Amino acid sequence: MPDYVAQFQRRIKKKEIRIAVVGLGYVGLPLAIEYAKKGFSVTGIDIDRDRIERLRKKESYISDVPTRELKEVLGRGKFSASGNFSALKDADVISICVPTPLRRKYDPDISYIKQSVKSISKNIKKRALIILESTTYPGTTEEVILPLLEHAGLKHGRDFYLCFSPERIDPGNKNFPVNKIPKVVGGVTEEATHLARMVYGQIIEKVVPVSSTRVAEAVKLLENTFRLINIGLIDELAMMAHEMGIDIWEVIDAAKTKPFGFMPFYPGPGVGGHCIPKDPLYLYWKARHYGFKSHFIKLASDIINYMPEYVTERVLDSLKKKGRPARKCKVLVVGVTYKKNIKDLRKSPSLDVLTSFRKKKVSVSYYDPLIPYLKFQDINLKSVPLTRGSLAAFDCVVIATDHSNVNYDFLLKNSRLIFDCRNVYKGQHCERIIKL
């Protein structure tokens, strides 16, 4: 074992190393707080002034980080937040957890990664371990980040170590907080992988090393591509089952009784969140550079992107049969977050459903117990109360997100028509219930 690696290991055990996390969103903040809870000194870096100000006021803006935990680590002096990259100069470990959106429909945007790496290169401690967690295409770590650091005059193994470890955060999942989710790590060299294993091993129950950064990068994309394709498949089967007069939800429930060879996926109005709608398209884009076109990824993505419009068409078709043309319809969308019980609107398909109704000149409102007001694009709405009087004004209620704290019995008793995208009324057969 090289001398520095042995020294690093001794310092980890004594909790002497200092850790920095760049990007304090849904991935970075839980990671930073977990290290701080274990007794490490942690610095969080974010260019969002509002986030830094709220952290300094001891306010958590992430559901997976309780304010009491934030206050506890701040009170012990184990965590601090800054908007200045100069705070990295004492960091032995730097985790990069910044956004990686799409520039156009199929083109990755890794500009946040590049900007962060350039700032890190100017403020790096000698032999610091840099770990990229942001989801990206295979090759990013060695083809983009490594050259950026070396262009700044730094040399791997002498001035820094570089590793990739895909984030696997599932917001709101109480069964799998950050410390319970196995961590995949792949370094540019074996030493880098070993250092990352030691660091993550302090807070995470299981660390899984792989042979390279490219393998580690591909792991996250495989996970979410698997989900995208299966969700796209079940969405298509749901549309097909409707044409055949078959209840797809009953089919799924019966199929999942098989104890092997089947995994249930469920249809819905689309897919939201930061990962599934985007990550497979990073793989799709990279594959094209090798002259390979992934038909499955594009097809599944196209089907899922069509689902908000499909929901709209089904609702309007049902209302038309009742003598209600679109221009005279009033629709209420229940649930606008991308996932139940989570205050998160990132790429929520419910927003696309709202937009689709508006394009068809339908008067549309929403109710969500977690989102009191909604402002995006040209939509500026407040959540309507669920009362007998308010529900009587709507021709149809669309259940787009099935939050647990909604009184669905009350909704059913007081609504003219319900379009159930989430099988809330499982096993109930009523003329006023239409299932996706």
How far CA 411 is from CA of 48, 321, 339, 398, 433, in Å, comes to: 40, 22, 20, 11, 11
Residue type, 386: L
- Cα–Cα distance between 34 and 36 in angstroms, integer? 5
CB 333 within 8 A of CB 294: no
Residue entry with tokens 């209620």: 397
| 74-111 residues labelled b (16+ CB within 10 A) or e (exposed) | beeebbbbbeebebbeebbbbbbbbbbeeeeeeebebe
- Cα–Cα distance between 11 and 40 in angstroms, integer? 11
Reported in sequence order, the residue ranges of 35-127 that DSSP labels E, i.e. its strands, are 41-45, 79-82, 93-96
Structure tokens at 62: 């992430």
Helix axes 295-321, 349-359, angle to 10 degrees: 50
275 counts as catalytic: yes
Pseudo-torsion of CA 128, 132, 137, 143, nearest 10°? -10
Q: What are phi and psi of 156, to 5 degrees?
A: -65, 135
- Cα–Cα distance between 73 and 398 in angstroms, integer? 42
Task: Classify strands 379-382 and 373-376 as parallel, antiparallel or unpaired.
Answer: antiparallel
Q: Which of 97, 275, 329, 396 is catalytic?
A: 275
- Closest CA relative to residue 284, chosen from 417, 424, 425, 104: 104
> Listing from the earlier edge strand, what are the strands of the sheet with 41-45?
79-82, 41-45, 18-22, 93-96, 128-132, 160-164, 183-187, 207-209
- Cα–Cα distance between 270 and 255 in angstroms, integer? 22
Structure tokens at 174: 């109480």
- On the 0-12 / 13-18 / 19+ scale of CB atoms within 10 A, 201 is middle
Residue type, 261: G
Task: Classify strands 396-399 and 330-334 as parallel, antiparallel or unpaired.
Answer: parallel
What is the set of active-site residues?
Answer: 275
